Structure 1
Amino acid sequence: MTGSSRQSAIAEMLRSRDFISVDELAARFSVATQTIRRDLVALCDQGLARRRHGGIESVARSGNLTFKDRRVLNREAKQSIAAAVARYVNDGDSLSLGIGTTSQFVAEALLSHRRLKIVTNNLPLALMVGQNSDFTLAIAGGTVRGGDLDVCGPSVDSFFAAYKVDIAILGVGGIDADGSLLDFSEEEVRLREAMLRNCRRSYLVLDSSKFMRPAHVHGGRIDQVNAVFCEADPPPEIRRILDQSGVQFVRSSLTD
């Protein structure tokens, strides 16, 4: 497990714990206490935790982490995933890109492509795509969700329905052991379903911290997409679902 993956896992643990000790984390991840202390310093520097004698304590949070916080977690994994996705996109393709930080990293990896047509409700992603004047960009209008920096709601469902794109690039809050796709709100689920209905191919992008990650809103299954991109192999039960359904699994390299 990389340092960023470990930090992401620790941040997830803090969503349901008030305090975690250095010794517990060292045993959990089978690393030296000095390694854990460096991870904790990084999390505290990012404002995701507070140091306390012998470990860290949580910063009051509920639900998903903010867009800013999620962007700094598992950064290397997300960049490698984005580089892998970019190799499956051709110049001139039309794409819908949804919410989430991994989708933003995909947008960055696509900036050297030509004549892409992008449809999105992700504001940071739209700003990134707008740097390439060779692209055509359509962005959803409506109310911006504070902290997430995206637009959701019924109008966004209609927005995506107005386009038929070559590839939909989708994120997800978590994946259950039975292959269920999980998120933190009904709006996020409806958005993903709207994108799936209006594409020719669908790519699910996720870092490995999403496997078995708890999120309370269910919508869709992993075997409904054409390909899954991740920096690590999935758990055996997820791999069986992918193999049985014929969904392509693309493992990215952290050296990409």
Structure 2
Amino acid sequence: MNSHDAHSNVGAGSDSRQSAIAEMLRSRDFITVEELAARFSVATQTIRRDLVALCDQGLARRRHGGIESMARSGNLAFKDRRVLNREAKQSIAAAVSGHVNDGESLSLGIGTTPQFVAEALLSHRRLKIVTNNLPLALMVGQSSDFALAIAGGTVRGGDLDVCGPSVDSFFASYKVDIAIFGVAGVDADGSLLDFSEEEVRVREAMLRNCRRSYLVLDSSKFTRPAHVHGGRIDQVTAVFCEADPPAGIRRMLDQSGVQFVRSSGPG
């Protein structure tokens, strides 16, 4: 079904609309409820019922604000990840900001949750920030009160960050008070998962070169599959999340003395 065919299904009933949405997901990683409501000229509640039906059929998976393809491999583009679980990430960021003091040095990793953390830190004073996250650097660089160092190298298209051996040595040249990073997923055994070896190497370089480490993740990461393993959740200083982790993970954190901070977010 092409774009013209999808448009011809506008108002044609739920079955045709759901078929059109499923076809759209063959070439799209993520589609918002609002986009679909406008596309088919129906209410957002109608679209949400369609999405529930598609998920029940195993054709898609709900994410905050929309729907994603079950067949996608790898990570979503940065602009789409900004939409996912936005309220949870903002809540996590607010909690993290309460555990950072004025004047401290921070390394901030890739992804959208560290960017929300950086936004929450803009009211702090005299922070020293090192990062390989380009949108984050552009934002904090506008504060004349912050010192900023950014990694050089090749920008990964779609991710808007810099990874690779030069970035590993970049983080190794600093000893910061706090490293703040996310992950693509957390396995049931506590393994930290990402989508590429270079993402793992960068995160581990940050972990080696800090006094305290804050893992920031929304609760969807506890069930999200990713295939590259590096490190464990019980190796960080604190975990920030908007909801309680699975019971096995919580026991692991308690036994290892890792602080768990639940933010006042949804869920």
**Conserved in 1, the CA contact under 8 Å of 2:78 and 2:112?**
yes
Partner residue in 2 for 1:129 = 140
Match of 1:9 in 2: none
- Mapped partners of 2:211, 2:165: distance in 1: 22
Unaligned 5+ segments in structure 2 are: 1-24, 30-43, 53-59, 61-66
Matching residue of 1:237: 248
Displacement of 1:62 in angstroms is 2.4
Select the structure of larger CA radius of gyration. 2
Q: Distance in 2 between matches of 1:124 and 1:57?
A: 24
Q: Distance in 2 between matches of 1:112 and 1:100?
A: 21
Per-residue CA deviation, residues 53-87 of structure 1 (Å, 9 max, x unaligned), is: xxx78497421111111110000000000000000
* Alignment correspondent of 1:176: 187
Equivalent position of 2:37 in the other structure: none
Q: Which amino acid aligns with 2:130?
A: V
Give how far 1:38 is off: 6.7
Match of 1:144 in 2: 155
Aligned to 1:75: 86
- CA drift at 1:37: 1.3
Query: What whole-Å deviation, never above 9, does each CA across 1:113-163 have from its counterpart, x for those lacking one?
Result: 000000000000001111211000000000000000000000000000000
CA distance in 2, matches of 1:39, 1:157: 45
CA deviation after TM superposition for structure 1 residue 216, in Å: 0.2
What is the distance in 2 between the residues matched to 1:183 and 1:189? 6
Distance 2:128 2:68 in 1: 45
2:229 counterpart (206, 211, 218): 218
- For the 8 Å contact 2:243–2:265, the answer to whether it is kept is no
Match of 1:64 in 2: 75
The total of aligned residue pairs comes to 213
Report SS of the residue matched to 1:99: coil
Alignment partner, residue 113 of structure 2 = 102
SS at match of 1:211: helix
Are 1:189 and 2:200 matched, yes or no?
A: yes
Q: Once the two structures are aligned, what percentage of the paired residues are identical?
A: 90
- Give me the whole-angstrom Cα distance separating, in 1, the residues matched to 2:68 and 2:260: 37
Q: Confirm or deny that 1:209 pairs with 2:220.
A: yes
Aligned AA (2:74) = G
Q: Secondary structure of 1:95's match?
A: strand
Q: Return closer, same or farther for 1:40/1:126 CA change in 2, 3 Å cut-off.
A: farther
TM-score under structure 1 normalisation? 0.78
1:165 counterpart residue number? 176
Aligned position for 2:238: 227
1:213 deviates by 1.1
Task: Give the 3-state SS of the residue equivalent to 2:82 in structure 1.
Answer: helix
Mapped partners of 1:235, 1:60: distance in 2: 25
Q: 1:38 to 1:94 in 2, by over 3 A?
A: farther
Shift of the 154–247 alpha-carbon distance from structure 1 to 2, 3 Å rule, reads same
Find the aligned partners of 1:36 and 1:173 in 2 and give their Cα distance: 28
Displacement over 6 Å in runs of 4+: none
CA RMSD of aligned residues (A): 2.4
**Match for residue 113 of structure 1 among 99, 124, 132:** 124
**How far apart are the structure 2 equivalents of 1:239 and 1:59?**
28
Distance, in Å, in 2 between the alignment partners of 1:115 and 1:220 is 31
**Which whole-Å deviations, capped at 9, do the CAs of 1:80-124 have from their partners, x for residues lacking one?**
000000000000000000001000000000000000000000000
Distance 2:169 2:216 in 1: 23
1:57, 1:122 → 2: CA distance? 24
Larger deviation: 208-217 or 58-67? 58-67
